[in-house]
Structure formats: C-alpha cells, structure tokens
Amino acid sequence: MNPTLVNNNVPRNYFGNDSYEGTIGNSHYNALQVTLKSRTKGLTYSLGYTYSRSIDQASSLSDAADPFNFNLTRGLSAWNLTHDFVATYDYKLPLERLSYRARRVLKGWEISGVTRITTGFPVTLSVDADNSLQGSSPNGVNNRFVDLPDLVAGQSLSINSHPKNNGLVYFNPAAFTVNALGTPGDAPRRSFSGPGLFNTDLVLKRNFQIRETKAVQLRWEVFNIFNTTQFFGPEAVNGDVDNSLFGHVINAAPPRLMQLALKFTF
C-alpha cells in the first residue's frame, strides 16, 4: 500500500501493482482431425478438417490471472479455432496439348494453391481500470488489467457474422458494462469468436532444368487471389469495454498481393 498513490482517480485506492509470475496455468485441448489425400493423373490434393476447442486460464504471459481465484479468468484460449478446413492442391497443366509447335514453351507448367476456411479467433474482453482493487495494472508483460466486464441482464450479443467494412459493430456493446467497484467482473475473458477466414493463395510455376542437379523455377504467386476483405486475427474486434470502438471491427488482413519470383536450385 502507498498512501501517495491514487489509482484510476479512485479516492483511497492506495494499492500499487505487485507483479508475480508462476507456472500455475493449465489448458485443455480436444479435437477431431480428419485428413484426406489423393493423387490422380496430374492432380495431387490434400484436405484437412479440424473441429477443436481449447480452454485455459491464461494463454500467455500477457494474460493476467486473478490472484484470488485462478478460475475466474478461465475461458477460450486466445488461439482457439473451432472449425478449420485447409485444402492444398497441385495440378500439372496439360498446356502442351494446345500446340505441338509450342510444346517446349507450354510443357511443365503447374498451378498450386492453398484454400483455408476457418472460424475466427476469440474476442478478448477487458477493462481499463483496477475496479476490483486488486492492484493490477499493465506492466509491459501483462497487456491488460485483470478486471473483466460485467454482463448486462436482458442484452444479447447479436453477433454480426458478416461485417462488410472496417469500423462496423460486430457484437452488441450494450451486452457488457464496466465491472462494479470491488468486484472482478462476471463476464468470461473469451467466450465467443470474431469473424472467420475464407482465403485462397495460388502460385503458377515452371521448372527449367539446366543440368541434372541444377534448375531454375519461375513462380508467380498471388495471395488472397479473390481480394476478399478478411476481418481475421486475434485483435480484429475491439474487446476493451472502456474504448469508444468497443465491439467494432478494427483490423483486417492484407488485400490481394502478387509477386514474381525466380528460384535457383543446385
């Protein structure tokens, strides 16, 4: 206690931060994983699907735990992805059939790609204050106070599953409020997920054999080929109840990117 310290403009709040690290966290991960691989004439592909759930008390050092009850911060892990489907494929293009004269130029081209469809990362809720009076504050390792918001009775999340633009509301901010003084907050740290991902990356490539052990590969790579806006990532939705953008979509993954590459193997 420090009588000269006033935290968060709360009178007689003399408690300062006392950082402590310990290996007291635990997590539970359960998953169903299915994989299908096939190779036909000119086409090779692999399909993978994971249905999983990961729960913990803290996902990293940046997650502060309640020192009096570790289970109060128990919720979805920051990296939890409930549904995750990934398809990889490689197809040898039969372009040499188009022209016998241009066979040397057309032969050997391949197209490869990765398509991923997944649900979003959990939205992390937080409060910018030590209303619980536990002496918690961000210290460069912990990114947030230990306090959590309170749930508001009668208010639903009303999740907008398809936000079209940055800055739009993803869930109902009125469903949460700042925790009452002297209480840790009754909302889970992470209980619902943000926007998902539907993305395809493609590459067109050809190998030019120089000698038996030397080759040059020409590659044209396109990321997010359909240029779809992807509001995907751990910080895609603002979960800070004290922020004016609380509940809004604030981050997006990169748009379509293309690059031309030349690779020499020896």
Look up residue 106 and give its DSSP letter: H
Look up residue 24 and give its DSSP letter: -
Q: Strands 83-92 and 176-177: what pairing?
A: unpaired
Q: List, as one string, the DSSP characters of 178-230.
A: PPPTT---SS-SS-SB---EEEEEEEEEEEEEEETTEEEEEEEEEESTT----
Strands (E), 26-151: 27-40, 43-56, 75-76, 83-92, 109-118, 150-151
> Does pLDDT of 65 surpass 80?
yes
> Does pLDDT of 172 surpass 90?
yes
d(CA 11, CA 176): 25
pLDDT level of residue 143 (50, 70, 90 thresholds): confident
Q: What is the mean pLDDT of residues 142-148?
A: 86
Model-level pTM greater than 0.85? no
Q: What is the mean pLDDT of residues 102-123?
A: 88
Identity of the amino acid at 240: D
Q: What angle do CA 98, 101, 107 make, to 5 degrees?
A: 60
pLDDT, position 133: 83
pLDDT, position 108: 82
